Amino acid sequence: MRAPTLIIGYGNPSRGDDALGPTAIAALERRMARKVGQARPAPIEYLTDFQLQVEFVTDLADRERIVFIDAAASGAEPFSFEPLVAREGEPIASHALSPASLLTVFKHYHRHDPPPCFLLAVRGYMFELGAPLSAQAQCNLDAALAMLEGWIDRPDGLAAAELAAADSTRSMRNLYRKTGMENTR
């Protein structure tokens, strides 16, 4: 039997903050492993890759919920957590699909709607080849993972995520002000 929750982190670990997706998976696996002996959520399967490809359509099957984690070069700080839907007319290529495109392929391949899916887009800043994860992106990732743990642990996951996202945004703004990082963005 497949794990009911699938979390996919994608991005290029050699391109600075583009590593946020795979880095998130490694950190989340460690965090969840520490919960041994505590009340644990249903099993979770974790996957990482450089990009989403059409072959992932088989990994999405027979799940209750799916989270895609990726770096965002622009948008909300420290992160956004939004529901995803398949979009007809979304460009579909054999390489580098968007999450919405992958859900469209899923819908056509399996002939039914995908399970509830979400995109956790963690704000990144530096995407140069050979660059490490930036300090700002690491702070954003920490906030995103704290929210995601709450979402995983609670049956009303989406409501918990929305509250945590709002709290994290306020907390990160305060952290940026205290550290002077707000002037470097």
Q: What is the pLDDT of residues 48-67, one digit of tens each?
A: 999 999 999 999 999 999 99
Q: What is the pLDDT of residues 108-140, one digit of tens each?
A: 999 999 999 999 999 999 999 999 999 999 999
Give residue 33's pLDDT. Answer: 84
pTM of this prediction exceeds 0.85? no
Tally of CA atoms within 13 A in the half-sphere of 107 that contains its CB: 18
User: Is the pLDDT at 183 greater than 50, yes or no?
Assistant: no
Instruction: Compute and round to an integer the Cα radius of gyration of the chain.
Output: 16
Beta strand 79-84 with 117-123 is: antiparallel
Tell me how far apart the terminal alpha carbons of the chain are, to the nearest angstrom.
Answer: 45
How far is 178 from 166, CA to CA, in rounded Å? 19
Residue 172's pLDDT band, with cuts at 50, 70 and 90, is very low
Q: What is the DSSP string of 30-82?
A: HHHHTTTTS--PSPEEEEEESSB-GGGGGTTTT-SEEEEEEEESSSSSSEEEE
Largest distance between two CA atoms of the chain: 51
| 140, 79 contact by CB (below 8 A) | yes
